[in-house]
Amino acid sequence: GAGVSQSPSNKVTEKGKDVELRCDPISGHTALYWYRQSLGQGLEFLIYFQGNSAPDKSGLPSDRFSAERTGGSVSTLTIQRTQQEDSAVYLCASSLFQTNTEAFFGQGTRLTVV
């Protein structure tokens, strides 16, 4: 696609439910990043992929969070047993290589846990 696509754009879920957030990066981009952003704040790093492997998953807040990437393309971020503090905008970005290159962001998924 022309840009990074994330779905859904909005998700409201009940506390305790599992959610899956999807990211379609720009074709050919080897690096993929997940960040979390609270209202008007900076971006909190969650995990990044180089190809299908995740060299750095240090930002995942707890074992309720997991992510995978298949075929060097689509990535899914899964949050199990959601809590209210998980409410945030989850942003995905991709870049051609790992560093020093522009990261292209999707519009994000706004997750609200009620």
Partner 1 sequence: TQLLEQSPQFLSIQEGENLTVYCNSSSVFSSLQWYRQEPGEGPVLLVTVVTGGEVKKLKRLTFQFGDARKDSSLHITAAQPGDTGLYLCAGAGGTSYGKLTFGQGTILTVHP
Give the footprint of partner 1 on this chain (CB under 8 A).
4, 31, 33, 35, 40-45, 48, 50, 55-56, 91, 93, 98-100, 102-108
* Closer CB to partner 1, 18 or 30, in the complex: 30
Q: Which amino acid would we find at residue 51?
A: G
| Residue 33 exposure: Cα atoms within 13 Å on the Cβ side | 20
Taking residue 79's Cβ as centre, other Cβ atoms within 10 Å add up to: 24
Which tokens in the block code for residue 81? 């047993």
* Closer CB to partner 1, 16 or 51, in the complex: 51
* Closer CB to partner 1, 18 or 41, in the complex: 41
* Closer CB to partner 1, 31 or 79, in the complex: 31
Q: 88 has which bridge partners?
A: 111
Alpha-carbon gap, residue 68 to 78, rounded angstroms: 9
